[in-house]
Structure 1
């Protein structure tokens, strides 16, 4: 008995000592510390930001997305004891929560009355504190969004500071409020509490770059920032995907392609380790290794193998032509390229291989690497798949992508692992996706949209991914969709138009939404997908330098004709442009912005972006709700007799008159007026006088009428589906020189 008593006293003393340490460390009461300590130990909680949240000067409103039954217990333990907690009925009545409810004042949530009660405003004006638990929805419906409006209204009236608090990992607890099919369960996940700096609603509204934002939108965006911060975007690409595997389940079938079939996370990482070890034996850490592969399981395993070995994956655009491939190999520079004999043979890319070798690169074939792996190598990979081949540093280069070169020579864009993972987490904080989704990705991985959105995002979010090797198979892709029944798809306007032409009405009917980028989505494209397939196209905006997503529309925050609202964690400003009255040139900051460029003139030399703003070169406008509208590239404006003319507006006018055709407007030199606009179109019946009459009837400015019209059977396009404006401009100059333009 004496020994048992001694042991019990030691345990009790250790427990009290631990509670006292939490009290001192966080500034909470001893009663709070005694109840918080077991939660801290069980879930290894990162609560480093809570001390500052407690210090927020009253009046203050703590806004907590309610993900699990544990959340109120954590907040009652960590927030100041004079905070009034507004609990839902289940939390207010739960017997197990009773000890924690004794820590502070609580009232029962009443959706009909509590948020319009003047009592809450009086509490805040009396230097009080509120803790409000809102529904945990990335894209809240109309009813849920009323609560955001109510909370913002109360905080605004009381001039109270708002502190959003998000508990990362809470939705994966056994007592999560998210349906099991959307969020995998884990008994003891590591929790991360993200608390944003205090700010009033007025201060949040003033962050909009043109005019004060709506209070509800300002609050919603601030909560999205907290959600993003809790996701730990500082992890390397390998560790982010590995953590998703441990959270979702190593045996979960995460990946599939038409040739190799399905791969679980475990099998993916086993293959990645085999590849990573081999590539590590012939390359150095930080070295750029070329990837010349189509969308496939082998591509993803190669990417993860390079990430595991801290090598840089340089994505080769095999549709850009031999000259561009040789330039890319020399610019990076690249000694080793990973490819597949079957792919090269089937795609007839011998000239691309020759171009790579001309740039002094050596090809390593996936088939040979896998054959060389011994039984012991495979056993070791199966045992140690969780661990990377080389030490990880998320701040170092991880991916090299090459800009599309639509208006000039392609540049090498260098992205860190942190850039890519952060961008995926930013998108997940804005778009509602989950374990019950299936994403069909047809966009190539050498395109930043296809890489981050179509591969990295589903891998780190635990979303099943089906990779199709080419976006150009307009007949086969609808058939694949009809068989797979995907819920999400990525694409560009050009590709979506092509799929709609060949698809049956039920081929894409399973889609919840389609994320479109890379080029503007035409109104009739959006309407066709709505009417025929019941699928909503949510348009976004991005650039390779931003890894790439910058803004996106969502189900609850969407406006046709815009590219949505800025992702959480990013800042923007508009620089005035001479000759343009509304909007300005968009500049950005954010954790997803690249490390810098490598220019062909200085191979292998990184020109860092630094801590400043990145100039996108795009002219945009921003409305009160934060929706961004792209007016066009700064280079996509022509200066005619001192007036700035949007080439995008010229194309829009032509498309409105000839909607079934393709159009591209370019500016060419003009001795008298500086520049003149040329419309290159596939419309065989295109006529300048007809376009002039249509513009007059549409009350469009005469400034956007093209000086010349050139007809062609097909517009030049890049492998990504975007119009190759460099080639269009060369075509226009050539045709005008030969006198074949229509006046």
Structure 2
């Protein structure tokens, strides 16, 4: 009896001691600490940032992403005890929450409390504190977004600071509010309380340097930043995939391809270690290793193997000219290229292989690597599948991308794992993805969107990834989609237009949306997808140097014709451009911006990006809601007399008249007017007079092309975009003009 009592007293003393430690460490009251301690122990809560939250000067509004029934208990335990908590009706009535509701004042949530906000404004103006629980919707609908407007209005009127709070891991709790298809349930997931520094709504609105943002959008963006912050320190592709395996289950299917390969996370990581060890034996840490593989499981295994062994993936464009491939391997000092003998033969890449070898590289065939994997290797890999081959550092170079130079000289862009994974998580903080989704990726990995959006994003978020080797198999891809039932399709405007023209009506019926970047989406493509498939296209904007996404629309928060809103943790400003009244040259900052360039003049040497703003080279306009509209590349404005004319606008005029065809406008030097416009088109009916009559333009309008060149086939890049460099050469050949701009 004495022993039992002694043990009980020791346990009680330890419990009280732990509570007192929380009082000292976080500044909680003893009552709060006593109720919080068991939650902290059960869920191993990382609460290091809560001291800053508690010290926020009143008036303050704590905006909590409400993911699970546990959130009010956590916040009542951790926030200052003078905070007024506005609880949803279920939390206000829950019997189990009664002990925590005694820690602070609470009121039940309903529409009247939100929209009749005078009382809440008075509370805040009296140096009060509010805790508001907003639904954890990455893409809030119209009804949910009204809450953002109401909360922003309250905070703005009271000039209160806003502190966003996100509990990472809460969506995986057994009593999560997130549907099971979006988040696998775990009994005791580790929780991390993430938050950002207190800022007023006015401060948040003023961060849009172009023009002040709307209060509701500023608050929405702040919560998106918190959601991004909650993903934790940026990881390499290997570590992000490993984390996804632990979160979503190692037996969950991660990658599929047309060869019938279906790899769960465990098998994927076992084979990753095998590939990584073989690559580590023939290359050095930090070495640039070329990849020349089509979309498939071998591509993913090679990327993960290079990541695990801390090698740099040089993504070679096998659709490029032999000279471009030779220059690429020389610029990046690629000494080894991983490819498939079967692929090289089937795709007739003999000249590309010869060009790479001419640049000083050797080819290692994936078939030979796999043949050298012994039984002992496989057993060892199965025993240590969670262990990287080499120490990981997300800040070092991870990928080298070679821009095609569609409008000028190609560039060699160096990205870190930090850049790529930050960009993937930025997209995930804007668009709702999860284990219930299956992504069909047809874009090649040498395309930055194909690498980040088509491989890194699904691997890190638990989406099931299906890889198809070419975006140009228009008839086949719709049949594949009918068989595998994807929910998301990745593509470009050019390939989606091809699907609309070749697929049967009703195809792609399983899709939630198609996510498109790389070029503006034409109105005709949108119309065809709505009519044929009843499907919306979600458009984004980016560039390789930004890993590549910069902005994106969402299905609930978008504006047709725009490229969407800036991704979380990014900043932008516009530099004035002579001759353009509305809009300017887009300058950006963000964690997804590249490390720098490499050049042929200094092979293998990184030329760091440096501090300050990065000039995208694009001329854009930004509206009050933050939606970006890309007007054109700065290099694609023609000087016609005293006017600046967007060549993209000229193309759009032709597209309206002949929507089934492809059109490219080029500026050519002219003695009298500075430059003149040549329209290259696949339309046999294209006529300048028809454009003039249709748009009611004057005969001297600068938007009218001076010449029309008709071609049977428009030069395209492997991604489906127009190859403007090839178009210029075509014009030179047909007109003899060497001054095409």
TM over 0.5: yes
Aligned-partner SS, 2:696: helix
> Considering only aligned residues, what root-mean-square deviation do their CA atoms show, in Å?
1.6
State the distance in 2 between where 1:46 and 1:364 align: 45
Mapped contact 2:114–2:150 kept (Cα < 8 A): no
Q: How big is the shift at 1:212?
A: 2.1
* Secondary structure at 1:235 match in 2: coil
SS of equivalent to 1:147: helix
| 1:89 alignment counterpart | 89
Instruction: Verify the 8 A CA contact 1:397 1:415 in the aligned structure 2.
Output: yes
Equivalent residue number for residue 707 of structure 2? 708
Classify the secondary structure of the residue corresponding to 2:603.
coil
The corresponding residue for 2:37 is 37
- Check if 1:461 corresponds to 2:455: no
Task: Using the TM superposition, give the Cα deviation of residue 660 of structure 1 relative to its aligned residue in structure 2, in angstroms.
Answer: 1.8
1:444 paired residue number? 444
The residue matched to 2:111 in structure 1 has which SS? coil
Offset, 1:160: 1.1
Matched, 1:280 2:310: no
Tell me the CA shift for residue 536 of structure 1. Answer: 0.6
Q: Which residue of 1 aligns with 2:240?
A: 240
**Match of residue 435 from structure 2:** 435
Q: What are the equivalent positions in structure 2 for 1:361-380 lying under 5 Å apart?
A: 361-380=361-380
Q: Does 1:291 align with 2:291?
A: yes
Residue 565 (str. 1) matches residue 574 (str. 2)? no
Match of 1:478 in 2: 478
Aligned to 1:119: 119
Provide the residue aligned with 2:189 in structure 1: 189
The Cα of 1:720 is off from its aligned counterpart by 1.1
Indicate conservation of the 8 Å contact 2:114/2:147, yes or no.
no
1:242-269 deviation line (CA, Å, top 9, x unaligned)? 1011100000011100114211011110
Q: Distance in 1 between matches of 2:334 and 2:529?
A: 42
Q: Distance in 1 between matches of 2:106 and 2:532?
A: 50
Q: Is the 8 A contact 2:308 2:389 kept in 1?
A: yes
Distance 1:430 1:582, change over 3 A: same
Distance in structure 2 (CA, Å) of the matches to 1:448 and 1:319: 15
- 2:692–2:699: 8 Å Cα contact kept in structure 1? no
Question: Are 1:541 and 2:536 matched, yes or no?
Answer: no
Greater alpha carbon shift after TM alignment, 24-33 vs 254-263:
24-33
2:134 matches 1:129: no
CA distance in 2: counterparts of 1:237 and 1:74, whole angstroms? 32
Within a 5 Å distance, the mapping from 1:52-63 to structure 2 comes to 52-63=52-63
Separation in 2, partners of 1:47, 1:425: 22
Deviation at 1:546, TM superposition (A): 0.7
2:683 corresponds in structure 1 to 683
TM-score by length of 1: 0.97
In the other structure, the counterpart of 2:719 is 720
State the Cα distance separating 1:375 from its structure 2 match: 1.0
CA distance 1:738–1:401, change in 2 (3 Å): closer
Distance 1:112 1:210 in 2: 35
The answer for the alignment partner of 2:656 in structure 1 is 656
Alpha-carbon deviation of 1:701? 8.7
- What is the match of residue 300 of structure 1? 300
Give the drift of 1:287.
Answer: 0.9
Q: Distance in 1 between matches of 2:35 and 2:609?
A: 47
Partner of 2:731: 732
Residues 1:619 and 2:619 aligned together: yes
Partner of 2:530: 530
Structure 2 CA distance, aligned partners of 1:71 and 1:34? 17
What SS does the corresponding residue of 2:721 show, helix, strand or coil? coil
Corresponding position: 1:173 with 2:162: no
Mapped to 2, the partners of 1:22 and 1:238 lie a distance apart of 36
Residues 181 and 435 of structure 2 are in contact (CA less than 8 Å); yes or no, is this contact kept in structure 1?
yes
Q: Deviations over 1:659-685 (max 9, x none)?
A: 221100111222333322111111112
Aligned to 1:228: 228
Matches within 5 A, 1:296-375: 296-375=296-375
Question: 1:77, 1:705 → 2: CA distance?
Answer: 68
* Mapped partners of 1:114, 1:550: distance in 2: 33
Q: Which structure 2 segments of 5+ residues have no match?
A: none
CA change 1:545–1:628 in 2 (3 A) is same
**Is 1:11 matched up with 2:25?**
no
| Change in 2 beyond 3 A, CA 1:170/1:734 | same
Task: Please give the alpha-carbon distance, in whole angstroms, between the structure 1 residues aligned to 2:706 and 2:25.
Answer: 71
Would you say the 8 A contact 1:76–1:103 is kept in 2?
yes
Does the residue aligned with 1:155 lie in a helix, a strand or coil?
helix
1:296 Cα deviation after fit: 0.1
Q: Which residue of 1 aligns with 2:692?
A: 692
Is the contact between residue 275 and residue 302 of structure 2 (CA under 8 Å) also seen in structure 1?
yes
CA contact (8 A) 2:167 2:230 kept: yes
CA-to-aligned-CA distance 1:1-29 (integer Å, 9 cap, x gap): 44444443333333333222222222222
Pair 1:641–1:372, CA change in 2 (3 A): same
C-alpha displacement of 1:147: 1.0
SS class of match (1:610): coil
Q: Is residue 116–residue 150 contact of structure 1 (8 Å, CA) maintained in 2?
A: no
Contact 1:209 1:622 in 2 (8 A): no
TM-superposed CA distance for 1:208, in Å, is: 2.4
Q: Given the superposition, is the C-alpha separation of residues 731 and 165 from structure 1 closer, same or farther in structure 2, using an over 3 Å criterion?
A: same
CA–CA separation in structure 1 for the residues paired with 2:737 and 2:57:
73
Paired with 2:716 and 2:538, the residues of 1 have a C-alpha distance of 23
Give the secondary structure class of the aligned counterpart of 1:31: helix
Q: Secondary structure at the match of 1:604?
A: strand
For 2:610 and 2:23, the matched residues in 1 are separated by 40
1:394 matched residue in structure 2: 394
Which SS does the other structure have where 2:178 is aligned?
coil
Where in structure 1 are there 5+ consecutive unaligned residues? Answer: none
C-alpha separation in 2, matches of 1:700 and 1:116: 59
1:211 lines up with 2:239 in the alignment? no
Contact 2:168/2:191 (<8 A) preserved:
yes
1:504 is matched with 504
Three-state SS of the structure 2 residue aligned to 1:585 is strand
Contact residue 650 and residue 704 of structure 2 kept, 8 A: yes
Q: Distance in 2 between matches of 1:717 and 1:533?
A: 26
Show the counterpart of 2:633: 633
- For each residue in 1:630-680, what CA deviation from the matched residue of structure 2 results, as whole angstroms up to 9, or x when unmatched? 000011111222421111111111111222211001112223333221111
Could you give the per-residue CA deviations for residues 709-739 of structure 1, whole angstroms, max 9, x where no partner exists?
Answer: 1111111111111111111112112222289
Q: Secondary structure at the match of 1:510?
A: coil
Rounded to whole Å, the distance in 1 between the matches of 2:69 and 2:699 is: 57
Deviates more, 1:131-140 or 1:728-737: 728-737
Give yes or no for contact 1:233–1:422 (8 Å, CA) kept in 2.
no
Indicate if the aligned counterparts of 1:678 and 1:709 stay in contact, CA closer than 8 A.
yes
Rounded Cα–Cα distance in structure 1 between residues aligned with 2:306 and 2:40: 36
TM-score, normalising length: structure 2: 0.97
Equivalent-residue separation in structure 2 for 1:330 and 1:284 (angstroms):
17
CA distance in 2, matches of 1:117, 1:737: 71
Q: Distance in 1 between matches of 2:622 and 2:663?
A: 26
Aligned residues: 739
Q: Is the 8 A contact 2:731 2:737 kept in 1?
A: no
CA distance in 1, matches of 2:498, 2:18: 64
Determine the C-alpha separation between the residues in 1 that align with 2:189 and 2:603: 45
Question: Deviations 1:679-719 (Å, cap 9, x if unpaired)?
Answer: 1111112222222222326x899111112111111111111
Q: CA deviation at 1:85?
A: 0.6
